[in-house]
Homo-oligomer: A and B are copies of this chain.
């Protein structure tokens, strides 16, 4: 059993907190700092690390700040306690020699545990990341946006939908220790079907919280015997309104809410 699965089962928690940190949305008290993003991330991690098993950094929110933003990713990683699973939500995808450079960027220059990858260019664009021992690739399966209907849900001549073909093709060649899939919570009708087709791999599930997906639905239709889920919540936690004294009170309360709900769900089923 890998470390992530072990943490999920012993802590009865499968929460990933998404650090989609936008300087324009931070509490006013952080705006006085020279580097508001970094101070905010540090505070979020300090106040939530006992309530989650993973953190996901959405690289877009760092790239939009230029080289300073890239430095913020480097420093934020040093604030995350050892043992938490760290995900670069980068959705990269490119041919072999370029994929090698992305792998170097996210597994060597930045020491992430996992990277999200867009597999549309083909299976050969996914493999170079696995040259890093222990590195995990999280391939896009079925995403949570309305546009997922445009191409991912298209039926192929073979009868499968495109996202089914993508997931099967990858799952048959890469095991659950090295490969996970992004499956949006807003797609809960499809979740049970996807789980029965892909029984062993972990799903990273965005879309709970601001995007409206239900945690209970995700757990009921998506969990396997060792849970096999990481539910990501970004905005609904990090921008939660304050509920008491201290600028982080709302953040803690929101994370605690998910933690309790997950504990209850796992308590009933396992």
Contact = CB atoms under 8 A, between A and B. Distances in A.
Given A64-B109, A91-B92, A101-B22, A145 B125 contact: yes
Contact of A118 (B91, B105, B106, B144): B91
A241 to B, nearest CB: 19
A140 B145 CA distance: 19
B121 A63 contact: no
A151 interface: yes
B154 A165 contact: yes
A108 B101 CA distance: 24
A235 to B, nearest CB: 8
A169 to B, nearest CB: 6
A60 to B, nearest CB: 4
Contacts of A93: 91, 93, 118
Contact of A150 (B104, B123, B152): B123
Interface in A81-107: 91-99, 101-102, 104-106
Chain A interface main SS type: helix
Contact of A92 (B60, B61, B147): B60
Interface in A129-176: 140, 143-152, 154-159, 162, 165-166, 169
Nearest to A166: B151
Contacts of A144: 95
30 contacts: A58-B101, A60-B101, A61-B98, A63-B101, A63-B106, A64-B101, A64-B102, A66-B74, A66-B109, A67-B74, A69-B70, A93-B93, A95-B144, A95-B145, A96-B145, A118-B120, A119-B151, A120-B140, A120-B151, A121-B152, A122-B143, A122-B146, A122-B148, A122-B150, A124-B150, A151-B166, A151-B169, A154-B165, A156-B157, A156-B162
Interface of A: 20, 22, 58, 60-61, 63-71, 74, 91-99, 101-102, 104-106, 108-110, 118-125, 140, 143-152, 154-159, 162, 165-166, 169
